Amino acid sequence: FSCRTNDQLVAFLSRYRDMNFLKSHGRDNARFIRKQGLDRLFLECDTHMWRLGDRRIPEGIAVDGGSDWFLLNRKFVEYVTFSNDDLVTKMKRFYSYTLLPAESFFHTVLENSPFCDSMVDNNLRITNWNRKLGCKCQYKHIVDWCGCSPNDFKPADFHRFQQTARPTFFARKFEAVVNQEIIGQLDYYLYGNYPSGTPGLRAYWENVYDEPDGVRTLSDVALTMYHAFSRLGLRRAETSFHTAGDNSCRYYPMGHPVSVHLYFLADRFQGFLIRHHATNLAVSKLETLETWVMPKKVFKIASPPSDFGRLQFSEIGTDWDAKERLFRNFGGLLGPTDEPIGMQKWGKGPNVTVTVIWVDPVNVIAATYDILIESSAEFTHYKPPLNLPLRPGVWTIKILHHWVQVAETKFLVTPLTFSNQQPIKQEEALKYHSGPPKNTYMEQSFQGLNPVLNIPISAARVDQAKRNAGLVGTRLEAWVDSLVSSVWSAVDICSTGPTACPVMQGCTQTAWSSLSPDPKSELGPVKPDGRLR
């Protein structure tokens, strides 16, 4: 992201057009070689970077490296691209089997080439390093190595863009799903405020699915939930807009979702926007609608509140990002074969130990464990090793201090209406919806805690769960919809085009739809000042 204007950048690079701007790691060359794995052989195969063994660094070469963000002049780029001299040829071969070649190749070639005097040890960038959070080996699933990744900027970092100690023109990282406010702050700082009343300035939409992607790109959990969200929207249209004897606002769902967006407002997740087809029952014509569904608040502090005040929030999800400290699975869409993680956010206070209890939909205690919360801890997270499949339904997480409940939260494990993107068959439904083998989630049973915690197991609920496990078709959809509506609400629905429902708003007229105005994101021809908008 640029933190200076285009005019400022052009003026600077014009003045220093013969220089190459790269950031070096520092002075300890041996440590850099080990840290980067330059003395190891790597090969990428099947979307994984494999470490194959050791290798020797070429003799007579001063190896250097650092950031893979740099500005190179035309002469050096042409040299690297077209030269057949020994240095370039050998370095291209050596770095072909390197973990992060861009973090060292250009530095090494430049410093050993006739262009060595053109190097400036500054890549004109600010990088938001927080190694305590960013160096957690969070990419071990894709690479046989541990590295570090910078954090996203937040509003508290804004002063760093105003420093003048060294020339900087770019900054990283920015991510609107983590924090959009800082992007707006920087935009206003460089180019001034938008006119009063400009819509969409605090909103952010991110597309996660579009029809050309094909339903094969969606998990069965996502496809199940997106369909349920669409039906939830149609029920809202019927209950909010329908009048007796008039079918103009009643619909029948048709086909798979057209598109799905995440929707954020003021840096808070507001839910999903599902665009979908439906037949209007009054005129038997197909319409395209968009439904906004929002998660209901499921985290509750005990009433009356205990004297334990450190717990601020708790949430269950998957794909926990330890660096940005959020769940990347926005909305927490979970199915029977997912492995949920429990997260707690803490305020400062004395060291304490809390007990976390996971209760399934029929009140089987699936897991219980203690967490020591140190005085400086801000977040804790843990994934209990539960036997799968998880029983579908609404789960409850209880958090206790000295065996007194201080808070609870809930999360939905949805039954699946699809298996391999096809309507699920009864044999598969029974396999996924009957709970874990022998009704036990872990090797040890916690059944003895049920009376202690006043969590009775109801025979009627157990029998109902067994009957639900074999449901298919519309009866399965009805079960899914009842569960989804207990933790999600349809906030609004709009029409993307012509509609027979006279009171339904057009999507472009709303403030929330993915089709609503968003001037800050509109792109057009490049203007004389270098701006796209």
Q: Could you give the number of structural domains in the chain?
A: 3
Question: 374 with 495, same domain?
Answer: no
Determine how many CB atoms are found less than 10 A away from the CB of residue 122. 16
Range of the domain at 527: 219-295+472-532
Q: Answer for the pair 159, 186: CB distance below 8 angstroms, yes or no.
A: no
Question: 258 with 304, same domain?
Answer: no
Its pTM surpasses 0.75? yes
SS3 track for 79-99: HHHHCCCHHHHHHHHHHCCCC
Looking at residue 137, its pLDDT comes to 67
Question: 92 with 183, same domain?
Answer: yes
531 pLDDT above the threshold of 70: no
By DSSP bridging, strand 365-373 and strand 326-327 are: unpaired
Report the chain's mean pLDDT, rounded to a whole number: 93
509 pLDDT above the threshold of 90: yes
* Dihedral angle, C-alpha 499, 500, 502, 506, nearest 10 °: 0
Contacts of 497 (CB under 8 A, 6+ apart): 287, 288
List Cα–Cα distances, 49 to 102, 141, 142, 149, 438, in angstroms: 15, 9, 6, 17, 39
Q: Answer for the pair 83, 109: CB distance below 8 angstroms, yes or no.
A: no
CA-to-CA distance for 465 and 178, rounded, in angstroms? 38
Kindly report, residue by residue over 244-292, the tens digit of the pLDDT.
778 899 999 999 999 999 999 999 999 999 999 999 999 999 999 999 9
Question: 252 with 311, same domain?
Answer: no
Question: 528 with 479, same domain?
Answer: yes
Question: 359 with 499, same domain?
Answer: no
Element (H, E) at 141: none
Kindly report, residue by residue over 372-381, the tens digit of the pLDDT.
999 999 999 9
DSSP helix/strand/coil, 19: coil
Q: Of 147, 172, 189, which residue is a domain's last?
A: 189
Residue 195 inside a domain? The answer is no
Over residues 72-81, the mean pLDDT reads 97
Residue 306 C-alpha from the chain's centroid: 33
Residue 516 inside a domain? The answer is yes
Question: 149 with 254, same domain?
Answer: no
Q: Which DSSP string do the residues of 378-447 spell out, in sequence order?
A: -EEEE-----SSPPSEEEEEEEEETTEEEEEEEEEEPPPSEETTEEPPHHHHHHHHS-SGGG-SSSS--T
Looking at residue 165, its pLDDT comes to 82
49 pLDDT above the threshold of 90: no
Kindly report, residue by residue over 424-435, the tens digit of the pLDDT.
999 999 999 999
List Cα–Cα distances, 465 to 389, 397, 430, 478, 525, in angstroms: 14, 19, 11, 14, 59
Kindly report, residue by residue over 31-41, the tens digit of the pLDDT.
888 888 888 88
Looking at residue 144, its pLDDT comes to 65
Kindly report, residue by residue over 62-71, the tens digit of the pLDDT.
899 989 999 9
Q: Answer for the pair 200, 516: CB distance below 8 angstroms, yes or no.
A: yes
